[in-house]
Amino acid sequence: MAAAANQRKKITSFHPPQRVLLGPGPSNINPRVLAAMSLPVIGYLDPIFVEMMEELKTLLRYAFQTDNQLTFPASGPGSVGMESCFVNMVEPGDKVIVGRNGVFGGRMIENVERCGGTPIVVEDTWGEAVDPNKIEDALKKNPGVKVVAFVHAETSTGCASDAKTIAEVAHKHGAMVIVDAVTSLGGSPIKVKEWDLDAVYSGSQKCLSCTPGLSPITFNERAIEFVKNRKTKVQSWFMDLNLILNYWGNTTRTYHHTAPINGLFALHEALLLLKEEGLENSWARHTRHHLALKAGLESMGLKYLVKEENRLPQMNAVYVPEGVKNEAEVRRILLNEFNLEIGAGLGPLAGKIWRVGLMGYSAQSANVMLCLSALGSVLADMGLNVKVGEAEAAAHQSYAAQHAAAAQQMRTTAKKK
């Protein structure tokens, strides 16, 4: 019946609704980035396009805080970035330690297995950071580990792990690191060169506020040398760095695949926006709006999943309050009545938490206030002890306090000069 009805339906141009995206991604896209996507298509070996590719690599090096020559956007979402790292850096029989503290650590384990490697899993509770001491214990017990892999910013929980310390531990034992920075890039510090991270991948659709479908990725010389001297052929033709180097390298532009041309135009503009704002200013903006949102959510009685010292400002995971019998109904009302999207919990946290993202272009005060007003209204209608307006007032107070603190800091700095 449904299939027959769909066949009778007249198909017209698709026009999606305007949503405020405050979930785990994608985030809303800056109008400048949307405009860049509509630019005329040119060939992927056109000299003008090649010039733009070089600018893209320069902008990505800034975002990653690295001078790695092999820094480029892989053609595919963050999952392609993940798989690119594993298929290139893991050979059959290699021992790989994976820190799992959420969904995406689990996907890393799957990648190791599909590459023929032997995963050694270090478990941490969902919502807690990957423990560097556990990683070191695993390295001591398993000599000859080739790679340590972990998620820097776990999207499923809103938890950040100490990438710098974990990398130091891994290198001390002769292992390279693969780091998932899908949710952190542009939203919180990730310093590839300073922290000596071997391979890092991200996504275009979160704090970079670009169209989904691209995965910024960077490899240092240590990782590249390993790939060049592998004993076995990389199992993926499409993601083989030895071939990619011929397209994204510095001296050659040999055809490899048809690049997502307009998506790369968009990423160029998104990264230019990040450069114009300044990376540290972007990090500070995400924190500023996170603190205001936090003040409002806590005024409603909502509690955070992650300890304060490990929280990601761009991914706020809060427990569903007691008294809400159907958390999915709350999300449905927010979407249908307020055009506002927030995320649900995954795995063992399904039905227990909401994930409120403040990423990239979505991280702005208007969205913080809309979220608090809409969520407070829905919870009050469901009979919870939430007074409409209190959450917004708490957020305003947070903004005012942060502004006052910043002004005082400027005065103190001026006096020292």
pTM, 2 dp: 0.94
For position 162, what pLDDT does the model report? 98
Q: Which residues belong to CATH 3.90.1150.10 in the chain?
A: 279-416
Per-residue pLDDT band for 143 (boundaries 50, 70, 90) equals very high
Amino acid identity for residue 35 in this structure: A
CA angle 117, 122, 126 (to 5 degrees): 125
Cross-strand bridge partners of residue 356: 316
Q: Mean pLDDT, the chain, as a whole number? A: 95
Which tens digits make up the pLDDT trace of 270-327? 999 999 999 999 999 999 999 999 999 999 999 999 999 999 999 999 999 999 999 9
Amino acid identity for residue 384 in this structure: L
Per-residue pLDDT band for 5 (boundaries 50, 70, 90) equals low
**pLDDT of 249 higher than 80:** no
**pLDDT of 253 higher than 90:** no
120-134, 136-150, 239-253: which range is least confident on average?
Answer: 239-253
**pLDDT of 7 higher than 80:** no
**pLDDT of 254 higher than 80:** no
For position 416, what pLDDT does the model report? 77
Of the options 3.40.50.1100, 3.90.1150.10, 3.50.50.60, 3.30.1120.10, the CATH number for the domain spanning 279-416 = 3.90.1150.10
For position 250, what pLDDT does the model report? 66
For position 246, what pLDDT does the model report? 79
Per-residue pLDDT band for 6 (boundaries 50, 70, 90) equals low
DSSP per-residue string spanning 140-203: HHSTT--EEEEESEETTTTEE--HHHHHHHHHHTT-EEEEE-TTTTTTS---TTTTT-SEEE--
CA angle 46, 48, 49 (to 5 degrees): 65
Return the CATH number of the domain spanning residue range 31-275: 3.40.640.10
Q: Which residues belong to CATH 3.40.640.10 in the chain?
A: 31-275
Sign of CA dihedral 18, 24, 30, 31: negative
- Report the DSSP pairing between strands 199-201 and 176-180: parallel
| Contact indicator for 324, 330 with CB cutoff of 8 Å | yes
